[in-house]
Amino acid sequence: MDNILTRAFYDRDTLTVARDLLGRDIVRALPDGTRLICRITETEGYIGRMDKACHAYGYKRTPRTETLFARPGTAYLYLIYGMYHCLNFVTEGEGEPAAVLIRGAVPIENGDIIAKNRFGCKEKDMSAYQKKNFLNGPGKLCRGLALTRVENGVDLTAPTGGLYVCEGVPTAPGQIQTGRRIGIDYAEEAVDFLWRFYV
């Protein structure tokens, strides 16, 4: 059994954490004890201090962004477009609103259950599971792991919250690709920040 990443892991520069999260394993412990595990392949950094794409840009505090001000190693989940959820990990020191969005992953353990969550019980859609790449998007990932706002605020450094992250196999720096972030065209100069990382 892998080691759970500590709070010190998250309590660093956000972009460093975003790169270091590639290859790490998200563990989703369901209420019935089942463990769904997938390995992170794509992340994005969001830093409220100076990033117009961040919900907490300029330290803006609202009921939703409150979680971004929590301790590093806290899960930040919110609803987007009325029907999808996004999973983030809070970083960079308490009181600094910053986080890493998990944009993509691949199944490692109990992939059949993850696929069932993702596609429902529709037989025709289960063929997509064979494509082996059905967690390549933040909304898809949360569907597969059955994550919603219920998990917002969970402590990622303890196994008790049903959601935590293990060491996995860190990605070599040479294999990390960089690019612009997705879906933030409104963010003016921040659209050009190369804060997206993927293998």
Partner DNA sequence: CTTCAGATGCTCT
Partner DNA sequence: GAGCATCTGAAGA
Q: Which residues bind DNA (CB under 7 A)?
A: 44, 46, 53-55, 60, 62-65, 68, 76, 78-84, 86, 88, 99, 101, 125, 137-141, 149, 181-184, 186
**Which own/partner contact pairs does 61-70 have at CB distance under 8 Å and 24+ positions apart?**
65/97, 67/152, 67/153, 68/97, 68/98, 68/99, 69/94, 69/95, 69/96, 69/97, 70/94, 70/153
Closer residue to DNA, CB minimum distance, 12 or 84: 84
Phi, psi of 62 (to 5 degrees): -135, 170
Question: Considering the complex, what minimum distance in angstroms separates the CB of residue 106 from DNA?
Answer: 14
Question: Minimum distance between the CB of residue 149 and DNA, rounded to whole angstroms?
Answer: 6
Nearer to DNA by Cβ, of 33 and 131: the residue is 131
Number of helices and strands in the chain (H, E): 5, 8
- Residue closer to DNA (CB basis): 72 or 138: 138
- Measured from the CB atom, the residue of 27 and 115 that comes closer to DNA is 115
Strands (E) across 71-190 are located at 75-80, 84-90, 98-109, 163-166, 177-179
Nearer to DNA, 2 or 136 (CB): 136
Q: How far is the CB of 44 from DNA (least distance, A)?
A: 6
- CA 48 – CA 177 distance, rounded (Å): 23
The Cα–Cα gap between 180 and 190 comes to 9
Contact 10, 154 (CB under 8 A): no
Smaller CB distance to DNA: residue 37 or 47?
A: 47
Cα–Cα distance for residue pair 66/194, rounded to 1 Å: 26
Closest approach of Cβ 87 to DNA, in Å?
8
H helix runs in the chain, sequence order: 7-10, 14-20, 111-119, 123-126, 138-144
CB of 135 to DNA, least distance (A): 8
- State in angstroms the smallest separation of the CB of 174 from DNA: 26
